[in-house]
Copies of this chain bind each other. A is one copy, B any other.
Amino acid sequence: MRNYIFELPFEVRDYECDLQGIVNNAVYQNYFEHTRHKFLLSKNISFSELHKKGIDAVVVKVEISFKHSLLPDTPFISKLSLKKEGVRYVFHQALFSIDNQTLFASARTETVILNQGKLGFTPELDAIVQEAETLS
């Protein structure tokens, strides 16, 4: 199993389920995004504060594998690891059941940093990646 460096507990909310009675596929991206932003916050980096300074983390590619449908009232754990590939910050993420026995979904998300609209990077984020790569 991948060495995840951050975990966040979640619980399915009824309004996130669609007419099939399961969490709608698009909502998984909400879960994954919120996990990334909470990870950054845990490193004192605020996505919204960055944006105010003209620095935007932008998703350029996402791949999601849906393994088991998330059902109403289900608690789950969202896990994350982070690497850098060229100018891209690549997040590997997964949603597991509380007992870690069920993988609901996994995702690979490539992001870039736009600084005042131009491809850039942030020393703070690079420090985190270096720390992350050491851990994972």
- Which residues of A does B touch, CB under 8 Å? 13-15, 17-21, 24-27, 29-30, 33-34, 37, 41, 46-48, 51, 56, 58-66, 69, 71-73
**Min C-beta distance of A60 to chain B, whole Å:** 5
Tell whether, in the assembled complex, residue A72 and residue B47 are in contact, meaning their CB atoms are under 8 Å apart: yes
Contact A26 B19 (CB under 8 A): no
Once bound together, how far apart are the Cα atoms of A14 and B25, in whole Å? 12
- List residues of chain B with CB within 8 A of the CB of A26: 15, 26-27, 29-30, 33
Residues of chain B within 8 A (CB-CB) of A27 are: 26
A72 contacts B58, CB within 8 Å?
A: no
Contact: B14 with A17, CB < 8 Å? Answer: no
Q: What CA separation (Å) do A33 and B14 show in the bound complex?
A: 8
Q: Taking A14-B19, A26-B27, A51-B20 as contacts, is the C-beta distance between A61 and B62 under 8 angstroms?
A: no
Q: Are A60 and B65 in contact (CB under 8 A)?
A: yes
Complex: chain B residue closest to A59, CB-CB: B25
Could you tell me if B59 and A61 are in contact, using CB atoms closer than 8 angstroms? Answer: no
Q: How far is the CA of A47 from the CA of B13 in the complex (A)?
A: 11
A48 to chain B, nearest CB (A): 4
Contact B72 A46 (CB under 8 A): yes
A-B contact pairs, 28 of them (CB 8 A): A13-B30, A13-B34, A14-B19, A14-B33, A14-B34, A14-B37, A15-B18, A15-B34, A17-B18, A19-B19, A19-B48, A19-B51, A20-B51, A20-B58, A25-B59, A25-B62, A26-B26, A26-B27, A26-B29, A46-B72, A48-B73, A58-B69, A60-B65, A60-B66, A61-B64, A61-B66, A62-B62, A63-B64
